Amino acid sequence: MPSKKPPQNKTVAIIGGGPAGLMAAEVIATAGFAVDVFDAMPSVGRKFLLAGVGGMNITHSEDSTAFLGRYGQASADLAPMIAQFGANELIAWVHGLGIDTFIGSSGRVFPIEMKAAPLLRAWLARLKASGVKFHVRHRWLGWGANKSLRFSSSEGEISRTFDAVILALGGASWAKLGSDGAWVPLLAEQGVKVEPLKPSNCGFDVAWSAHLADKFAGAPVKTVAAAARPHDAKKTGEFVLTQSGVEGSLVYALSSQLRDDIAENGTATLWLDLVPQKSLARITEELSQPRGADSMANHLRRKLGIEGVKAGLLREIVSKDDFTQPAKLAAAIKSLPITLIAPRPIDEAISSAGGVTFTGLDTNLMLSQVPGVFCAGEMLDWEAPTGGYLLTACFSSGRAAGLGVVNWLNSAHKPLAKKRTKAELSAETEKSARKVAKSKTAEGDVVAAKSKRSKAKAESADPVEVAIKPKRARKSS
């Protein structure tokens, strides 16, 4: 039950100092409540900083219907949050921190310096100025007596109680940055329904021959097109052939379907078009031209530019017989089936699927099993491709949970005469949002999203491929 303290004396714990937790902290502190942020790591926002290492895409500029569609089955659950705080509001918020943005050729939106560090620095300074207290190296261990929160800290185990709690503990990828999924059993013990965490935007294992793996591991395969089903429209992009399989942006874009196919059937197929700019008929025609004394390998290189890793992939998968038959070889070039045997471990993935289900949360993101405890960010059960959709959903769900806490704490002082309807609850959320927005005008003006399409750096290099580059590649860079 909510406490009977007057609102101004109420305290809120945010556990997890990633983008979702920090956004919740901002909303709640702006509404006048005392906020303590706890994080297991020596500093907050570590994954957010990593996301900004090679060029962080913070959101996407496509129209709102297409944008929402990126969240697949979770679109309906995320829709109200993203309607209130979507791409435009997020861009305006970034501008309010004094950071300019630009839109890349892909439609992705980047902070002007393409890094997270200046944004995080400005944001933390603003949060501290608004009274938010930070407790790093505090690992949440679960609940103790009377719903107290247990933390391990440098002073040993400590216990604290709060009037409301937001859990923004992230998924389970890149555990060394703090989000390790260790919260799953803690919530399950309370009867909270949690879908198992699975890798999303991940690479896959392939049983390559030793010859192919040794010769081409680390080689980029570009520009190609791929699909997870033989008759699906193929997406164009690139990926990297690794010692154990495939990874990189094109594979990540198809990863949820490929992962689910493996779970269902034991394997999945990546259908690869090695020469997307030419039709099957054209390729067949070119391969059928007389080649004199030329080998088929030379013919492929001269006619279609297929050499190196692309030629290696063809040799790996196409039988010796088919390799000499133009029609069969052309068909393989346009739709080369690569059998994937397992997703790479979740720790290597860009993000996680699964998490706290929306059915166990009310419209304010409060856990129905644990009143007064709210959840936000990647720990909720949604997934999305790379391209700024991940961070947008983290920010907007963090904001929604923050507003939910403000509602909960304010409503705790109203006589509990009748149970409020869903419509009344969402009207209250709107009212809190307006109040928070009003008090924020002093912090920075909300300006229209600025697009600097001429930013040559982004246009030429497609920074997202760099931002979301494979873990091993990133490590070695």
Q: Of 168-176, 192-200, 291-299, 438-446, which part binds ligand FAD (CB under 6 A)?
A: 168-176
- Among 388, 387, 53, smallest CA distance to 235 is for 387
**Structural contact between residues 380 and 356, judged by C-beta atoms closer than 8 angstroms:** yes
**Contact assessment for residue 45 and residue 104, using Cβ atoms and an 8 Å cutoff:** no
Residue 52: half-sphere exposure toward Cβ, Cα within 13 Å: 20
Binding segment for ligand FAD among 36-44, 118-126, 299-307, 401-409 (CB under 6 A)?
36-44
Using the minimum distance from each CB to ligand FAD, give the nearer residue, 10 or 472. 472
27 sits near ligand FAD (criterion: CB under 6 A): no
Stretch that binds ligand FAD, among 17-25, 64-72, 220-228, 274-282 (CB under 6 A): 17-25
CA distances from 468 to 50, 203, 219, 308, 471 (A): 10, 12, 16, 24, 8
The residue from 87, 169, 202, 258 that contacts ligand FAD (CB under 6 A) is 169
Asked whether position 473 contacts ligand FAD by CB under 6 A, the answer is no
In DSSP notation, 361-387 reads B-TTSBBSSSTTEEE-GGGBS----SS
Q: Which stretch binds ligand FAD (CB under 6 A): 34-42, 88-96, 316-324, 440-448?
A: 34-42
Considering only residues 179 to 238 of the shown chain, the ones binding ligand FAD according to CB under 6 A are 179, 182-183
Rounded to a whole number of angstroms, the minimum distance from the CB of residue 147 to ligand FAD is: 17
- Interior angle at CA 232, CA 229 and CA 234, nearest 5: 100
Stretch that binds ligand FAD, among 166-174, 203-211, 248-256, 431-439 (CB under 6 A): 166-174
Which of 39, 89, 247, 383: binder of ligand FAD (CB under 6 A)? 39
Tokens 């996301």 sit on residue: 51
Residue in 378, 381, 428, 465 binding ligand FAD, rule: CB under 6 A: 378
Q: Smallest distance, Å, CB 231 to ligand FAD? A: 30
Whichever of 26 and 378 has its CB closer to ligand FAD, that residue is 378
The minimum distance between CB 193 and ligand FAD, in angstroms, equals: 19
Of 248 and 377, CB closest to ligand FAD: 377
H or E element that contains 13: strand 11-15
157 — phi, psi (to 5°)?
A: -80, 135
Q: Examine residue 101 and say whether the peptide bond preceding it is cis (omega within 30 degrees of 0).
A: no
The first and second tokens of residue 133, run together, are 């207290």
Q: Which is nearer to ligand FAD, 36 or 205 (CB)?
A: 36
Minimum distance of ligand FAD from residue 80's CB (angstroms): 18
Figure out which of the listed residues 249, 351, 410, 432 binds ligand FAD, where binding follows CB under 6 A. Answer: 351
Nearest distance, CB of residue 195 and ligand FAD, angstroms: 15
Site mask for ligand FAD (CB under 6 A), range 126-165, x = bound = -------------xx-------------------------
> By CB under 6 A, how many residues form the interface with ligand FAD?
40
- Check residue 145 and report its DSSP letter: G
Structure token digits, residue 135 = 């407790």
How deeply is 142 buried, as exposed, middle or buried, from its count of CB atoms within 10 A (0-12, 13-18, 19+)? middle
Candidates 33, 38, 252, 271; binder of ligand FAD (CB under 6 A) is 38
Nearer to ligand FAD, 120 or 329 (CB): 120
Quickly count: other Cβ atoms within 10 Å of residue 188's Cβ. Answer: 11
Q: What kind and span of H or E run contains 188?
A: helix 183-188
Kindly identify the residues of this chain, within the stretch 63-122, that bind ligand FAD according to CB under 6 A. Answer: none
Please say which residue, 350 or 406, places its beta carbon nearer to ligand FAD: 350
- Residue 470: HSE in the Cβ half-sphere, 13 Å Cα cutoff: 26
- Closest approach of ligand FAD to the CB of residue 116, in Å: 8
Check residue 173 for interaction with ligand FAD (CB under 6 A): yes
CA geometry: angle at 366 spanning 364 and 370, to 5°? Answer: 160
- Closest distance of CB 49 from ligand FAD, Å: 9
Q: Kindly state the DSSP code that residue 233 receives in the 8-state scheme.
A: P
State the burial class of residue 137 (Cβ atoms within 10 Å of its Cβ: 0-12, 13-18, 19+): middle
Judged by CB under 6 A, does residue 51 bind ligand FAD?
A: yes
**Interaction with ligand FAD in 387-406: which residues (CB under 6 A)?**
388, 390-391, 394
C-alpha neighbours within 13 Å on the C-beta side of residue 18: 30
Which position among 13, 28, 31, 41 is part of the footprint of ligand FAD (CB under 6 A)?
A: 41
Judged by CB under 6 A, does residue 350 bind ligand FAD? yes
Dihedral (C-alpha) 217, 222, 228, 233: value to the nearest 10 degrees? -170
Interface characters, 241-280, with ligand FAD (x: CB under 6 A): ----------------------------------------
Report DSSP state, residue 202: -
Distance CA 409, CA 400 (A): 14
Instruction: By CB under 6 A, name the binding residues for ligand FAD.
Output: 15-21, 38-41, 44, 46-48, 50-51, 56-57, 139-140, 168-170, 173-174, 178-179, 182-183, 350-351, 377-378, 388, 390-391, 394, 467-468
